[in-house]
Amino acid sequence: MKKHFLRALGLVLTLAAGLGWLTYRHFDFFVPRLASEEGAVVDRLLRVHFFLIAVIFALVVGFAVYSVWAFRGRADDDEPGLNIHGHGGLEFLWTVIPLGIVLGLSAVGVQDFLFLRRSDADLVVQVQAQQFSWTFFYPEYDISSSELWLPTGRRVKFEMTSLDVIHSFWVVEFRIKEDTVPGMTTYAYVTPQVEGEYVLRCAELCGSGHARMYGTVKVVSPAAFEAWVAEQQAAQRALAGDARARGEQVFQQYCAVCHTLDGSPSIGPSLQGLLGREVLLEDGRTITADEAYIRESILDPQAKIVAGYPPVMPGTFQQALSAEDLDALVQFLLQLDE
């Protein structure tokens, strides 16, 4: 039996070395590029987890595979195997050692978590999630934006909420994820470190538009960030006057995820040439699209459903759009060409 044990152990160590090398040294194969300081903390522990997975897998599979190979019986053989019922010492060992490992992992996990969630921050960004788009407010600069611009090297505190259902804020390269919940403010902390363009993706099923609920994230140098802020402040003052451009911007922000402008159907009907169009509703009526219908469709979408489309348009635009934004949007839609 001792010979068997040593041979099995040899198999385990070979497997462990191979799998351990694969997971620890080639960790970068398994994860996308890293772009935040908090993400580095996540990756460090994840790498340890993968190494442990590799080693424990090798341990169990090594002994199992060795047994399958070395301890074969024959179907006609009536000889039993070793008559052992258990071993108190082994039970103790393989209870206490795993207990030690999980307690150790928990201790490191607590430390990492507290570090990730410490409340100091250099910049506050308020995030508003809704079906199916994101809006960002920078209270320090009094600007709002549909794109998330961030400077490198500053710890950002995201104060987040949702207007309708639960969404979740997640940029893969930042690693950190946190749900946005209606009626609550939730928090995430990220210190971006690598300049570039990233994609924010909603990570909690929120309806028909969930898969494509994306936001654009731009991480730039602190100087470029200041320049962008100034540009936004100026642009938002100017936009207050230009209703048409404002309307198009609102359309892109809130409507484009489900409605196209080129005639092609999407989750919702295309809005090309909407004014004056004969619209067939699911209850069989046909109505002519006028301004009243367009307004009603935005503020109370369940009132009339277009035939052939699911009744999934969110009812939150009444809350999300200011009176000026709504007027601008309606004006924009009224003059879309055939």
Partner 1 sequence: MRHVLTTGLVRGLLGQVVGFLLGVQMARAWGASSWLEDGPLTWASTLSVVGFMLASGMVSDWLGWLAGRFEPPRHAAPPGKPRWWRYFSVDYDHKIIGVQYGVTALVLVGLAGSVALIFRAELSKPGIDSLEPAVFNTLIGWHGIVMIAGILTGVAAMGNYLVPLMLGARDMAFPRLNAFAYWINVPGVMLVVLALFLRWETGWTGYPPLGVQTLPGAIPFYLGVFVVGFSSILGALNILATVIGMRAPGMTLFRMPIFVWSMVATSIIALTATQLIGLSFVLVVLERVFGMTFFSPVLTEAAQAMAAPPGRPLLFQHLFWFYSHPAVYVFILPGLGIISELLPVFARKPLFGYKWIAMASLAIALVGFLVWGHHMFTSGMSDVMRVTMMWTTLLVAVPTGIKFFNWLGTMWGGKLTFPTPMLFVLGALSIFLIGGLSGPPNGTVSTDLFLHDTYWIVGHFHATMFGGFVYPYIAAIYYWFPKVTGRMYNETLGKVHFWLMTPAFWTMSLGQMLAGLWGMRRRIVDYDPALGVEGLQTAVTAAAHVIFLAMLIFVFNLAWSAVRGRVAAANPWKSRSPEFQIPSPVPDENFAVPVVVVGEPYDYGQPQPYVTFATATAAADD
Contacts of partner 1 in 173-192 (CB under 8 A): 175-179, 181-184, 186
Q: Is 281 in the site for partner 1 (CB under 8 A)?
A: no
Segment interacting with partner 1, rule: CB under 8 A, options 54-62, 122-130, 269-277, 321-329: 54-62
| Binding mask of the shown chain, residues 18 to 47, with x at each position contacting partner 1 by CB under 8 A | ------------xxx------x-xx--xx-
The correct pick among 2, 6, 89, 90 for binding partner 1 (CB under 8 A) is: 90
Closest to partner 1 by CB, 236 vs 315, is 315
Contacts of partner 1 in 209-238 (CB under 8 A): 209-212, 214
Which DSSP helix (H) or strand (E) runs through 196? strand 196-201
Q: Could you say which DSSP state residue 306 is in?
A: B
Strand partners, 179: 168
Q: Is 124 helix (H, G, I), strand (E, B) or coil?
A: strand
Q: Is 323 in the site for partner 1 (CB under 8 A)?
A: no
Number of other residues whose CB lies within 10 A of the CB of residue 164: 18
CA distances from 251 to 33, 159, 245, 321 (A): 33, 25, 10, 11
**What is the per-residue DSSP string for 199-234?**
EEE--S--STTGGG-EEEEEEE-HHHHHHHHHHHHH
Distance in Å, CB of 43 to partner 1, minimum = 8
Left (φ > 0), alpha (ψ -120 to 50) or beta: where does 21 sit? alpha
Closest to partner 1 by CB, 195 vs 290, is 195
Q: Is 120 in the site for partner 1 (CB under 8 A)?
A: no
Distance in Å, CB of 186 to partner 1, minimum = 4
Distance in Å, CB of 14 to partner 1, minimum = 17
- Is residue 337 within 8 A of residue 273, CB to CB? The reply is yes
Segment interacting with partner 1, rule: CB under 8 A, options 84-92, 148-156, 248-256, 289-297: 84-92
The correct pick among 127, 143, 206, 289 for binding partner 1 (CB under 8 A) is: 206
Closest to partner 1 by CB, 108 vs 227, is 108
CA distance 216 to 201: 9
CA distance 190 to 35: 10
Distance in Å, CB of 73 to partner 1, minimum = 3
Q: Is 292 in the site for partner 1 (CB under 8 A)?
A: no
Closest to partner 1 by CB, 94 vs 276, is 94
CA distance 146 to 133: 8
Take residue 166 and report the two structure tokens written for it: 């639960």
The correct pick among 6, 72, 241, 292 for binding partner 1 (CB under 8 A) is: 72
Q: Is 166 in the site for partner 1 (CB under 8 A)?
A: yes
The correct pick among 203, 219, 298, 321 for binding partner 1 (CB under 8 A) is: 203
Distance in Å, CB of 206 to partner 1, minimum = 6
CA distance 135 to 147: 7
Q: Is 10 in the site for partner 1 (CB under 8 A)?
A: no
CA distance 169 to 20: 33
| Binding mask of the shown chain, residues 239 to 278, with x at each position contacting partner 1 by CB under 8 A | ----------------------------x-----------
Which residue carries 């690693």 as its tokens? Answer: 175
Q: Is 112 in the site for partner 1 (CB under 8 A)?
A: yes
Residue 126 sits at φ, ψ, to 5 deg, of -90, 130
